């Protein structure tokens, strides 16, 4: 029988042996490990020790989840479902479980109502009879002044602007045009 | 709510995985119970927007995150070690009862030692090891569940195997 040689394994060889012992590693790695095991006693010992542990590890089954956990979860979820979905309960919890939120909301609401009332309040004027008469008189005077200005403007337009600056040049141009027509007839 | 088929399916499918992972991570039955319960309630809360095809990763990620939260919270009280032996009776298959009693005892002791050794692994190695070896997740799924690069998953798994081997050195036959 051929005696196996003993030599130190490199870290890389050891890693490959460990992977192979746990059933991992590529096919080529496994072949390398196989050859190593057959040729090296140290490799074989190393491989077997890991292989033994790997077998023990593979035997470990998952632990069974206790049934009381499921019961508790079922109870919790059922209770949450019962508390969920009601508008009134949501409102109740929003208002009473968070007093700061409800207090802020109330303050904002009251403030906005007060501001709205102040801004939209109808204006009321209280004048005395003398103030009204005085205002009427002032208005009449103002209208008189405006009327006077309008009359003066009308007269100026009629006499100066239309007569002197519009009618006169218009007549002159018509006369020139007539002369031209007469000349052509001759 | 467990009457809803989709939810019931997910719970039936993953309840043992969630519980096992929590148990290995937290080493405490009561905390594992709490985490399992919390994960189940979270699944229920998210059931409407749940992508069933990505459920495994989502569930294991949620479980892992909750376990980490629990571990952080009780960092002070680490001496509450899980009585793993309580669970050995349940996990060892009953169909071996006809075999040699010595062998059964040996198997029980060995299984117990392996479980204890797994629980002694550092947290980051333990999570990868349990997800891969016990829960049967693929590298890619572990990478997503633990938010970890794929290569790190492989490296951690190798380290975990080495560490476990060291832990079990004294018990080898």
CATH domain B3-73 topology: Rna Polymerase Sigma Factor; Chain: A (1.10.1740)
Residues of A in contact with B1 (CB under 8 A): 74, 77-78, 81
Please identify among residues 101-120 of chain B the ones whose CB lies closer than 8 Å to any CB of chain A: 107, 110-111, 114-115, 118
* A8 neighbors A21 (Cβ within 8 angstroms): no
The Cα A82–Cα A84 span in angstroms is 5
| pLDDT (tens digit per residue) in A1-55 | 555 666 678 888 899 999 999 998 888 888 999 998 888 888 898 999 999 999 9
For A54, half-sphere exposure in the C-beta direction (CA atoms, 13 angstrom radius) is 19
For A1, half-sphere exposure in the C-beta direction (CA atoms, 13 angstrom radius) is 5
Sorted by sequence, the CB contacts under 8 Å of residue A179 that are 6+ apart come out as none
**What proportion of chain A, given as a percentage, has pLDDT over 90?**
20
**What's the farthest any 2 CA atoms get from each other in chain A?**
157
**Domain ranges (residues) in chain B:** 3-73, 93-171
The CATH code that applies to domain B93-171 is 1.10.10.10
Sorted by sequence, the CB contacts under 8 Å of residue A186 that are 6+ apart come out as none
Sorted by sequence, the CB contacts under 8 Å of residue A135 that are 6+ apart come out as A127
Reported ipTM: 0.72
CB contact under 8 A, B133 and A57: yes
CB contact under 8 A, B165 and A50: yes
**Termini Cα distance of chain B:** 50
Q: Find the CB nearest B111 among A15, A50, A59.
A: A59
Q: Find the CB nearest A72 among B37, B118, B133.
A: B37
Q: Do the two domains B3-73 and B93-171 of this chain adopt the same fold?
A: no
| pLDDT, chain A, mean | 83
pLDDT means per 10 residues, chain A with 186 residues, are 67 91 88 89 90 90 89 83 64 62 84 84 79 92 92 85 80 87 71
Closest by CA position to B31, among listed B62, B67, B60: B67
* A41 neighbors A69 (Cβ within 8 angstroms): no
- Three-state secondary-structure class, residue A121: coil
CB contact under 8 A, A65 and B18: yes
The Cα A16–Cα A9 span in angstroms is 11
Determine contact: B91 vs chain A, CB below 8 A: yes
Q: Find the CB nearest A78 among B1, B110, B134.
A: B1
**H helix or E strand, kind and range, residue A30:** helix A27-39
Chains A and B form CB pairs within 8 A to the count of 91
| pLDDT (tens digit per residue) in B65-100 | 999 998 888 765 554 444 444 444 444 444 444 556
Strand partners, A5: A40
CB contact under 8 A, A77 and B1: yes
């Amino acid at each position: 029988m051929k005696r196996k040689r003993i030599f130190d394994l490199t870290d890389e060889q050891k890693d490959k042996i460990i992977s192979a012992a746990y059933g991992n590693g590529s096919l080529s790695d496994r072949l390398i490990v196989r050859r190593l095991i057959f040729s090296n006693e140290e490799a074989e010992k190393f491989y077997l020790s890991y292989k033994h542990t790997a077998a023990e590890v593979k035997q470990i089954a998952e632990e069974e989840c206790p049934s009381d956990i499921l019961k508790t979860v079922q109870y919790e979820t059922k209770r949450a479902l019962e508390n969920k979905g009601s508008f009134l309960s949501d409102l109740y919890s929003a208002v009473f479980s968070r007093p700061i939120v409800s207090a802020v909301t109330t303050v904002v609401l009251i403030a906005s109502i007060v501001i709205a009332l102040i801004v939209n309040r109808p204006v009321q004027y209280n004048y005395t009879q003398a103030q009204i008469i005085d205002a009427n008189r002032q208005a009449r005077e103002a209208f008189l002044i405006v009327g006077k200005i309008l009359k003066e403007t009308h007269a100026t337009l009629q006499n100066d602007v239309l007569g002197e600056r519009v009618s006169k040049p218009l007549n002159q141009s018509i006369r020139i045009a007539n002369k031209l027509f007469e000349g052509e007839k001759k | 709510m467990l009457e809803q088929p989709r939810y019931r399916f997910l719970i039936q499918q993953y309840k043992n995985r969630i519980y096992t992972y929590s148990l290995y991570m937290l080493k405490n039955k009561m905390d594992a119970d709490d985490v399992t319960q919390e994960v189940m309630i979270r699944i229920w809360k998210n059931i409407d927007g749940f992508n069933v095809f990505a459920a495994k990763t989502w569930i294991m990620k949620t479980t892992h995150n909750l376990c980490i939260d629990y571990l952080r919270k009780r960092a002070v009280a680490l001496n509450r070690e899980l009585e793993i032996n309580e669970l050995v009776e349940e996990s060892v298959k009953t169909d071996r009862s006809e075999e040699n009693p010595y062998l059964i005892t040996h198997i029980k002791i060995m299984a117990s030692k392996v479980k204890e050794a797994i629980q002694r692994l550092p947290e980051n190695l333990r999570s990868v090891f349990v997800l891969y070896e016990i829960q049967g997740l693929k590298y890619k799924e572990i990478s997503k569940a633990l938010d970890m690069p794929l290569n790190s998953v492989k490296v951690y798994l190798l380290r975990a195997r080495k560490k476990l081997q060291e832990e079990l050195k004294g018990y080898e036959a």
